[in-house]
Amino acid sequence: MVAENIPEADDRMVVADNIHKHYGRLHVLRGVDLEVRRGEVCCVIGPSGSGKSTFLRCVNHLEKISAGRLWVNGQLMGYREKNGRLYELRESEVAAQRRDIGMVFQRFNLFPHMSVLANVTEAPVQVKRMPRAEAREIAMGLLERVGLADKAGAYPEQLSGGQQQRVAIARALAMNPSLMLFDEPTSALDPELVGEVLDVMRDLAEGGMTMIVVTHEMGFAREVGDTLVFMDGGVVVERGAPRDVLDSPQHERTRAFLSKVL
Amino acid sequence: MDTQTGPSRAEASSPGTGSPEFIKAVPVRHPGRWVAAGVLLVFAAMFAHMLVTNEAFNWPFMVENMFSEPVLLGVRTTLVLTLLAMLIGVVVGIAVAVMRLSGNPVLAGVGWLYTWFFRAVPRLVLCVLFGNLGVLYNRIDLGLPFDHYWAPLLGLESARFYSFDTRDLLTPFVAALLALALSEGAYMAEIVRAGLQSVDPGQTEAAQALGMRRSTVLRRITLPQALRVIVPPTGNEATAMLKDTSLVAYVPLTTELWFQLQAIGNRTYDPFPMLVAACLWYLAITSVFMVGQYLLERSFARGDRRAGAGLRLLRVQARN
């Protein structure tokens, strides 16, 4: 059941092997198996309560998994396995594992007491001990890329939701991650602001970033996604090329869900 | 009258008529306000008249003593004691709050015990207690613990390196400061804990997702945001502390403001003017504190619309 050695040079960025998650008596994830290759854009769809956000939060160990194994970039997340026993990683080791994984939240979670520029430079300076001038330069480049260089001095509350989410993407990119997680990045936005965020994400995907995107944007999944995963009831029900899954779903549950949202 | 199809409505919405005239209506009259103001004015006049004519106030005597040297020294002691006690109290409070919120059950338990003890014992009792700590130990030795049991086995007399006389170390000022600061630490711990818990958990998640360690998250993300919630009640605590310095006469530390004013009143058999002087001094210092608190709150309100609105309201009220 447990996958054999996951070599560093593997082209699989994320390997989830039979992931379970319990909250007390609530059994949220019931054996999720999923592989994401380097450079792949994997979109995850499914009804609310299907466990898709929980799964995403397990990938960077914001949630502890109850059973199974999860590797990112060849590293077992949250644990060290020695002689058939699992040892919990120390807090600093978990933090070090997360440096390589960027995450974008539904509610942006920008730091409200810092300017836009400080939001982006904070992690490189505090975590990577990067000199401020260098962090600033990188941050300005990223803000340019998301089209917000002119807002560097503003505070998050002065920005629209779409602008805040673009800053949040720049903040995550500042750590130069090899994997980006998006947890319903456009669900909290007014409809007319969704496009600008999706444009930035599309740009990122075209640049070859490995991405897992939990989303309700079927258009984005179809155009940008390499694979589409449909989750329901804490398991992956169906997985395939977006066109195939959306146009000719194989499972009854997928068909029922798509008929409601399309 | 039919409001739905009134002609004015049709007129206003029809193009070509331009924007309608501004409303010029006679405002509602409030005769009650005038009556109340008149009554209060009479009371105020009576009060002012009494202040001037009642000889018990003895204003020249009060002014002369209010700025006498022992009283000014008392003001200094009171201010120094207040500021130091608050400073130590805030530091202790942050430490205890972090202990209580940490995952470490030993630290959390110690934090709870600290808060429990120092909130339960009145400050007055703490002042007397710390003033009498010399009874418990008349010397304080630095060395290894329980040495009188094991040092003889090693052929040593003792394992102590240095020794203080408790009276040198625990002067009345230090005893008073400790009593007030440790008690304040317990209250501040609860305020800081509430502040930290008021920060959106999404902030911690975002910071952790960026690879920050817990100590960095606290120092850079949660604590700065918690300060917005912590500063207003801390201002309250500072004014309470200012007034509680009058308790340290029981340590006994007699150089503080209230004791000095009272002493002059007792010596001259004219206590009332000195009570008025005490009120005026505490009022004056508290007013200065309020300005400081306002400036602090403004600097921590950066990036928060709600806090900003509260302060703008304060400014409007201050102008009226």
Please state the rounded mean pLDDT for residues B104-113.
Answer: 95
Mutate to test the interface with A, among B210, B212, B216, B222 (most CBs of A within 10 A): B210
Contact between B210 and A105 using a beta-carbon 8 Å cutoff:
no
| Residue B293 pLDDT level (bands cut at 50, 70, 90) | confident
Of A112, A127, A155, the CB nearest to B210: A127
Return the pLDDT at B16.
56
The H-or-E segment that residue A231 falls in is strand A227-232
Nearest chain B CA: its distance from A156 CA (Å): 7
- Is residue B293 a contact partner of residue B232, using CB atoms and an 8 Å limit? yes
Taking the C-alpha atoms of residue A175 and residue A9, their distance in angstroms, rounded to an integer, is 22
Mind listing the domains of chain A with CATH numbers? 12-259 (3.40.50.300)
| Residue A1 pLDDT level (bands cut at 50, 70, 90) | very low
Neighbour count for residue A205 (Cβ, 10 Å): 21
| Residue B302 pLDDT level (bands cut at 50, 70, 90) | low
- How many degrees, rounded to 5, is the angle at CA B263 between CA B260 and CA B266? 155
The H-or-E segment that residue A32 falls in is strand A26-37
A78-127 pLDDT tens trace: 999 898 899 999 999 999 999 999 999 999 999 999 999 999 999 999 99
The answer to whether residue A105 neighbours chain B at the CB level (below 8 Å) is yes
Buried b (16+ CB within 10 A) or exposed e, B275-302: ebbbeebbeebeeebeeebeeebbebbb
- Give, to the nearest 10 degrees, the angle between helix A161-173 and helix A191-206: 20
Chain A contact set for B213 (CB, 8 A): 91-92, 95
A186-242 pLDDT tens trace: 999 999 999 999 999 999 999 999 999 999 999 999 999 999 999 999 999 999 999
Res B133 pLDDT > 90: no
| Residue B1 pLDDT level (bands cut at 50, 70, 90) | very low
Q: Which two tokens stand for residue B204?
A: 């911690």
Q: What is the CATH number of domain B61-301?
A: 1.10.3720.10
Contact between A109 and B216 using a beta-carbon 8 Å cutoff:
no
Q: Can you say whether residue A6 is alpha, beta or left, with left for phi > 0 and alpha for psi between -120 and 50 degrees?
A: beta
Interface pTM, i.e. ipTM = 0.92
Res B312 pLDDT > 60: no
Return the pLDDT at B315.
41
Res B240 pLDDT > 70: yes
Residue-level length of chain A: 262
Contact between A175 and B202 using a beta-carbon 8 Å cutoff:
no
A14-29 pLDDT tens trace: 999 999 999 999 999 9
pTM: 0.81
Query: How many Å is the maximal CA-CA distance in chain B?
Result: 112
